[in-house]
């Protein structure tokens, strides 16, 4: 497979990870290098810890095994060479730990561990030369090493394979150089190959499992993110639908349906608390001529302008609505008629004082307003509005731009 886009974000697309399908067969690494890098980055802290312990353990074992050397070889030249190799190699291992602390990426990159493992192997080849009496033991140790290279080096099966091949070939070459016969060499080749093969396939399965599990986790996380985004989108859509269902699209004020619901709620509350609820109907004067003179668009602007003045001139708890046309309705909870009158007169005055700008000469707007306080006999909004309509009609007939109480 080939992916062209190299995404190094911490969460690459889910479809790039369909449950390990994109793992390379021979080393169980992601075929997409970008995905492989992201995966290694995520494992880095754990791998650094593990590799640090492994290197320190190797260093300790290398030092400890100096004791059997001493017991077998005493203060001989062979001991000196082996001890020197041990000390140099231990120094390299400790250097590796220091490098690892400074560059944590070396843990998952795998090459530091590979070079250290390659450096450690010739020690055993030297052992073959200096201790021919314990060849079988050395072969045993190398077999353990073959497996441990796969199990303890960080998840780069491909690199571990090189180390195992080097140990296998180096051991055979050394033993051949020391005069081992072909029959024995073939036997040793098989014996040494066995742990390498077992180690390789075990590590391959382990790495495949780890990356497969990582892939699944990424898919789940990505699906969750998509789900969350979809939920957010639907919530926004619902809110928008709700807004459209309850507001007048031109002015953003409450529409009639919503207004009636709010009226019910406020009326019940005001009756319970014994406070007055006043309702005013505001009808713009000669609005037809605004449209006729300046055009429908300016007429719309005048409606928006009026809505802004109404909203700004009232309390937050007051409710302004537009029932269509050039009619606005004001609901003033907890406000008896006399107080409402003051408020409405103030709003009418503001309307008079602020003509619609942006049009040559401005558009002067006035309104006729009918105001009433909801009575106990009013069953619903229509009952109240009937009274208001009559008052409004009277206001219009009486010359407009005036407030009529009913
Ligand atoms: N621009 C615009 N005009 C509207 C809208 N709704 C209603 N109108 C206009 O408002 C005008 C209302 O006219 P009329 O009912 O005669 O009332 P008026 O001209 O204000 O006269 P009076 O109320 O008697 O003072 C009509 O020309 C409608 O077309 C709207 O949403 N936008």
Domain identity same for 393 and 268: yes
Query: If you ran DSSP here, which 8-state letter would residue 206 be given?
Result: H
Domain identity same for 22 and 114: yes
Which one is predicted more confidently, 8 or 397?
397
Domain count, the chain: 2
Domain identity same for 140 and 265: no
Name residue, tokens 């810890």: 49
Q: How many CB atoms lie within 10 A of CB 284?
A: 21
Per-residue HEC secondary structure of 151-162 comes to HHCCCCHHHHHH
- Atom 3 of ligand 1, residue of closest alpha carbon: 299
Q: What is the ipTM of this complex?
A: 0.94
pLDDT (tens digit per residue) in 149-175: 998 888 899 999 999 999 999 999 999
E-state strands within 16-139: none
What CATH number does residue 336 fall under?
A: 3.30.70.270
pLDDT (tens digit per residue) in 188-232: 999 999 999 999 999 999 999 999 999 999 999 999 999 999 999
- Across 376-393, b (16+ Cβ under 10 Å) vs e yields eebeebeebbebbbebbe
Domain identity same for 284 and 335: yes
Cα 284 to ligand 1 centroid, rounded to whole Å = 8
Is beta strand 367-373 parallel, antiparallel or unpaired with respect to 403-405? parallel
Query: If you ran DSSP here, which 8-state letter would residue 75 be given?
Result: S
Q: Which helix (H) or strand (E) holds 369?
A: strand 367-373
Whether 294 has a pLDDT exceeding 80, the answer reads: yes
Domain identity same for 279 and 202: no
Domain identity same for 285 and 154: no
Q: Is 209 helix (H, G, I), strand (E, B) or coil?
A: helix
> Is the Cβ–Cβ distance between 50 and 153 less than 8 Å?
no
Distance between CA atoms of residues 315 and 306, nearest Å: 16
Q: What is the pTM of this model?
A: 0.61
Whether 18 has a pLDDT exceeding 90, the answer reads: no
Per-residue pLDDT averaged across 231-249, rounded? 95
- Atom 25 of ligand 1, residue of closest alpha carbon: 285
Is beta strand 367-373 parallel, antiparallel or unpaired with respect to 278-284? antiparallel
pLDDT value of residue 362: 85
Domain identity same for 263 and 201: no
pLDDT value of residue 305: 97
The pLDDT mean for the chain works out to: 92
Residues 6+ apart with CB under 8 A from 364: 352, 355
Closest ligand 1 atom to residue 302 Cα is 1
Closest ligand 1 atom to residue 292 Cα is 27
Q: H helices then E strands: how many in the chain?
A: 13, 5
Determine, yes or no, domain membership for 245. no
pLDDT value of residue 3: 40
pLDDT (tens digit per residue) in 22-68: 899 999 999 999 999 999 999 999 999 999 999 999 999 999 999 99
Determine, yes or no, domain membership for 2. no
Cα 174 to ligand 1 centroid, rounded to whole Å = 106
Pocket of ligand 1 (CB under 6 A): 250, 283-288, 291, 296, 299-300, 303, 325-326, 396, 400
Domain identity same for 102 and 181: yes
Query: Is residue 84 classed exposed, middle or buried when 0-12, 13-18 and 19+ CB atoms within 10 A define those classes?
Result: exposed
Name residue, tokens 């909801």: 374
Domain identity same for 72 and 209: yes
Which one is predicted more confidently, 9 or 245?
245
Determine, yes or no, domain membership for 6. no
Task: Report the candidate in 109, 111, 113, 122 with the shortest Cα–Cα distance to residue 93.
Answer: 113
List the single range of 6-10, 244-248, 328-332 with lowest mean pLDDT. Answer: 6-10
Q: Which helix (H) or strand (E) holds 372?
A: strand 367-373
Whether 13 has a pLDDT exceeding 60, the answer reads: no
Distance between CA atoms of residues 87 and 81, nearest Å: 10
Cα 324 to ligand 1 centroid, rounded to whole Å = 9
Determine, yes or no, domain membership for 234. no
> Is the Cβ–Cβ distance between 344 and 371 less than 8 Å?
yes
Domain identity same for 218 and 260: no
Whether 4 has a pLDDT exceeding 70, the answer reads: no
Domain identity same for 154 and 262: no
Q: Which residue range(s) make up the domain with 276? A: 256-405
Whether 2 has a pLDDT exceeding 50, the answer reads: no
Per-residue pLDDT averaged across 303-331, rounded? 95
E-state strands within 221-363: 278-284, 319-322, 327-332
Per-residue pLDDT averaged across 334-339, rounded? 95
Cα 364 to ligand 1 centroid, rounded to whole Å = 15
Distance between CA atoms of residues 288 and 293, nearest Å: 9
- Mutational pocket test of ligand 1: of 248, 287, 304, 370, the residue with most ligand atoms within 8 Å of the beta carbon: 287
Determine, yes or no, domain membership for 231. no
Determine, yes or no, domain membership for 118. yes
End position of a domain, from candidates 206, 225, 244: 225
Cα 245 to ligand 1 centroid, rounded to whole Å = 23
Domain identity same for 43 and 192: yes
Determine, yes or no, domain membership for 30. yes
Determine, yes or no, domain membership for 8. no
**pLDDT-derived band at 21, boundaries 50, 70, 90:** low
């Amino acid at each position: 497979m080939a992916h062209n886009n190299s995404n190094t974000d911490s969460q690459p697309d889910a479809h790039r990870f369909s449950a390990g399908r994109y793992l390379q067969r021979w080393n169980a690494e992601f075929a997409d290098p970008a995905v492989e890098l992201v995966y290694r980055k995520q494992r880095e802290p754990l791998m650094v810890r593990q590799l640090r312990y492994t290197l320190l353990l190797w260093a300790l074992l290398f030092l400890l095994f100096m004791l059997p050397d001493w017991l077998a070889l005493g203060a001989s030249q062979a001991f000196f060479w082996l001890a020197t190799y041990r000390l140099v190699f231990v120094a390299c291992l400790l250097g590796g730990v220091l490098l690892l602390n400074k560059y944590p990426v070396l843990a998952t990159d795998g090459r530091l561990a590979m070079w250290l493992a390659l450096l450690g192997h010739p020690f055993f080849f030297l052992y073959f030369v200096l201790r021919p009496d314990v060849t079988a033991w050395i072969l045993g140790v190398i077999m353990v090493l073959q497996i441990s290279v796969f199990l303890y080096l960080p998840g780069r099966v491909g690199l571990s394979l090189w180390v195992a091949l080097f140990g296998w070939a180096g051991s055979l070459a050394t033993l051949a150089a020391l005069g081992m016969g072909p029959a024995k060499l073939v036997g040793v080749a098989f014996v040494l190959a066995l742990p390498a093969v077992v180690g390789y396939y075990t590590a391959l399965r382990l790495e495949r499992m780890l990356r497969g599990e990582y892939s699944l986790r990424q898919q789940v996380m990505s699906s969750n993110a998509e789900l969350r985004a979809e939920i957010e989108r639907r919530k926004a859509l619902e809110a928008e639908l709700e807004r459209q269902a309850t507001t007048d699209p031109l002015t953003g004020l409450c529409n009639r349906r919503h207004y009636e619901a709010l009226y019910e709620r406020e009326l019940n509350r005001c009756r319970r608390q014994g406070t007055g609820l006043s309702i005013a109907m505001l009808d713009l004067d000669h609005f037809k001529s605004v449209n006729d003179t300046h055009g429908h668009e300016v007429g719309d602007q005048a409606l928006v302008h009026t809505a802004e003045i109404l909203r700004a001139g009232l309390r937050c708890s007051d409710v302004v609505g537009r029932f269509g046309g050039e009619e606005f309705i004001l609901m003033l909870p907890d406000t008896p008629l006399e107080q409402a009158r003051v408020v409405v007169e103030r709003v009418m005055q503001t309307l008079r004082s602020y003509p619609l700008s942006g049009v040559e000469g401005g558009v002067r707007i006035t309104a006729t307003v009918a105001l009433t306080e909801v009575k106990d006999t009013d069953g619903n909004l229509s009952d109240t509005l009937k009274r208001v309509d009559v008052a409004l009609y009277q206001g219009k007939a009486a010359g407009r731009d005036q407030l009529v109480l009913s």
